[in-house]
Structure 1
Amino acid sequence: MTDNSLSQAQDEAITDAAAHWCMRLHAIDCTAEERLAFEQWHDAHPLHAFEYEAMLEIWDVAGGLPQPTTLVAPMVRAKLAMPWRTFGIAATVCAMALPLAAYSGWNLGWLPNSYQHFEANDNVRQVTLSDGSQVELNLGSELTFSNYKDQRRITLKKGEAFFSVSHDTEHPFIVKAAEGRIRVTGTQFNVWIYEDQVRVNLIEGSVLVSSNDAVAGDGLRLEPAMQASYRRGDITPRISQTYDNDNSQAWRSGKLVLDDLVLTDALPLINRYLSKPVMVADHSTGSIRIGGIYNIKELNNLVASLPKVLPVYLTRNKDGNPVLNSIPQQAPKS
């Protein structure tokens, strides 16, 4: 986002101010007066809000850096291959928050030389990463890409993505999803995440899947037509075989396929498209089965129609979420 009415000097001043506020708001001694001043600055111009959000993205990347223990010399700023604005943001944050790492972060593998952020809201979106890899994002999905000296790192924050990864054995491609990770060098695979659930489907090549970064080792290997799934806190992922009629990628054609699933399994697939997730009232409701092919842009209509096709009725909980309740079966007359 740019404003053609501002000079480059004014633009850079906004970037510097965004870096300052990012630092102060993360500081332990930040005062209430400072927070009020920040809110006034933030709301004063749309570009202020944009620059601050961009600064937070870079701050998240820098937050994982190790703390240097020795002085690095000579103190020469590493020239990172970023657009001038992104580089300016990263350099400003690092120069203020981690001055030693800012000078040699790339060579030490601490800082990326390329950083990208992508979101898909109302439409499926296809993007190209700076390493040449292709990513297709499902509705409501968000991810970031950071290219480090020794690895390429994706963080899938929410939603679903299909990856066609450029082959590079020297720079593995790592996708972080919940507490786990998927490690590849070049392949095609799909990653779905909803709340604490993650599912990985391999199409081509091979990947290593770990459900918990705290557990030593590279994880379990998937071959084509295999699937791994895990929840937050799982020590190891669950591995299963997929078949020719696997419909995990139907979303790429705008469809959601529910193949005779119980509601407990179907609702996470439906809810990730909804602003208000649908709940089930009890176990018996969750065991009711549902099938069909649905347009992913019209799933709100599906919720309203469920009482017409299933033995359920809708209520709402105190948070306004729709709740499915099974209709009790009448006992047969004697």
Structure 2
Amino acid sequence: MTDTPLPQAEYDAITDAAAHWCMRLHAIDCTAQERLAFEQWLDAHPLHAVEYEAMLEIWEVAGDLPRPATEGAAALPFKPASPWRTFGIAAAVCAVALPLAAYSGWNLGWLPNAYEHIEAGDTVRHVTLSDGSEVELNLGSNLTFTNYKDQRRVTLNKGEAFFKVSHDTSHPFIVKAADGRIRVTGTQFNVWMYEDQVRVNLVEGSVLVSSNDDLPGDGLRLGPAMQASYGRGDYTARISQTYDNDNSLAWRSGKLVLDDLTLSNALPLINRYLSKPLAVADHNTGALRIGGIYNIKELNSLVASLPKVLPVYVTRNKDGNPVLNAMPQQAPKI
């Protein structure tokens, strides 16, 4: 993204163009020439991709809504109100689900009355959601929040977040991460996600964790000082106890603490912060152990320093990403 802020009118024009392209690319009569023009527009400025991704999220929220049958309803032209950050969901609903207006979409639980997209760049970010809940996002993390009549819904798209949920027993707070979900009414907990792996740490209150949103029931209940972890496709989450020296929330102080972990277990924690993920060459390399306290803003420099503290050397795979290789053991002298 450019470092120089754009004038509001130019920013609004980019947002409007992103809405236009979102509609055209979803239209059945979208032509190959239009798709080429879209790619050219996308490459013309870094903000174009950012706004288009935000528009896709709004489109997906509105696209999932049930739509009553409307005989003879005509498609209406649509120009979104700007800025999208404040009024995006209302505009998307007008475009995609206009017939629902007469059916009181909010009262039926179909339409949210609030939509927020939140990103953290190279600093930890703290925000208060429209329902009063507080969220702290780790570096490079992003999520979306939608508020419905019967539930509050968060989708953690990437990274890690600490939640302090405003208590409301009639309005549960549901976090979706990978294929699973975490359901609460008011509590404090942390959700870490990397690729298809998810870990939930409960600090206060209780939460229900399900490894798959399609499974029946609300999942397994966690109490304070408990942890649940699951991967995409797991039938059930794994539950374990945490202890007073647990360091999983050290990121809130800008630290990553590795407490004598194998490289195989440490790499998912490290790779969350790297521009190019580390890998291990084999089982022997993955079994090497690493410890220490690291600044989460400086982990990209860790790759170069690892051969100084571990018996490893670095190669590159076909994608150009670094691979750790254990140094061959020397045969004992006879």
1:311 positional shift: 1.3
1:262 positional shift: 0.6
TM-score by length of 1: 0.87
1:115 positional shift: 0.8
Moved more, 105-114 or 184-193: 105-114
Structure 2 residue 241 is the aligned partner of structure 1 residue 227: no
CA distance in 1, matches of 2:239, 2:186: 21
Q: What does residue 93 of structure 1 align with?
A: 92
Q: What does residue 239 of structure 1 align with?
A: 239
Given that residues 275 and 300 in structure 2 are in contact (C-alpha distance below 8 angstroms), is that contact kept between their aligned partners in structure 1?
no
Q: What secondary structure is seen at the aligned counterpart in 2 of 1:246?
A: coil
Q: What does residue 297 of structure 1 align with?
A: 297
Q: What secondary structure is seen at the aligned counterpart in 2 of 1:160?
A: strand
Given that residues 259 and 291 in structure 1 are in contact (C-alpha distance below 8 angstroms), is that contact kept between their aligned partners in structure 2?
yes
CA distance in 2, matches of 1:173, 1:105: 20
1:322 positional shift: 0.6
Q: What secondary structure is seen at the aligned counterpart in 2 of 1:57?
A: helix
Aligned residues: 320
AA partner of residue 319 (structure 2): D
Given that residues 137 and 162 in structure 1 are in contact (C-alpha distance below 8 angstroms), is that contact kept between their aligned partners in structure 2?
yes
Q: What does residue 183 of structure 1 align with?
A: 183
Given that residues 119 and 142 in structure 2 are in contact (C-alpha distance below 8 angstroms), is that contact kept between their aligned partners in structure 1?
yes
1:22 positional shift: 1.6
RMSD across aligned positions (CA): 2.6
Structure 2, unpaired ranges of 5+: 72-80
Given that residues 63 and 96 in structure 2 are in contact (C-alpha distance below 8 angstroms), is that contact kept between their aligned partners in structure 1?
no
1:277-303 alpha-carbon deviations (Å, 9 max, x no partner):
000000111111111111111112221
CA distance in 2, matches of 1:30, 1:102: 28
CA distance in 1, matches of 2:288, 2:50: 46
Given that residues 113 and 147 in structure 1 are in contact (C-alpha distance below 8 angstroms), is that contact kept between their aligned partners in structure 2?
yes
Q: What does residue 65 of structure 1 align with?
A: 65
Q: What does residue 172 of structure 2 align with?
A: 172
Over 3 Å counting, the alpha-carbon distance change for 1:244 and 1:30 in structure 2 is same
1:146 positional shift: 0.6
AA partner of residue 105 (structure 2): G
Structure 1, unpaired ranges of 5+: 72-81
Alignment of 1:1-334 (within 5 A): 3-4=7-8, 18-38=18-38, 52-69=52-69, 85-86=84-85, 88-103=87-102, 104-334=104-334
CA distance in 2, matches of 1:47, 1:287: 43
Given that residues 181 and 213 in structure 2 are in contact (C-alpha distance below 8 angstroms), is that contact kept between their aligned partners in structure 1?
yes
CA distance in 1, matches of 2:8, 2:309: 55
Given that residues 160 and 191 in structure 2 are in contact (C-alpha distance below 8 angstroms), is that contact kept between their aligned partners in structure 1?
yes
Aligned-pair identity (%): 77
Q: What does residue 75 of structure 2 align with?
A: none
1:50 positional shift: 6.3
Over 3 Å counting, the alpha-carbon distance change for 1:269 and 1:102 in structure 2 is farther
Given that residues 210 and 220 in structure 2 are in contact (C-alpha distance below 8 angstroms), is that contact kept between their aligned partners in structure 1?
yes
Q: What does residue 75 of structure 1 align with?
A: none
AA partner of residue 97 (structure 2): L
CA distance in 1, matches of 2:22, 2:52: 7
Given that residues 177 and 193 in structure 2 are in contact (C-alpha distance below 8 angstroms), is that contact kept between their aligned partners in structure 1?
yes
1:4 positional shift: 4.6
1:95 positional shift: 2.8
CA distance in 2, matches of 1:14, 1:141: 23
Q: What secondary structure is seen at the aligned counterpart in 1 of 2:33?
A: helix
1:238 positional shift: 0.2
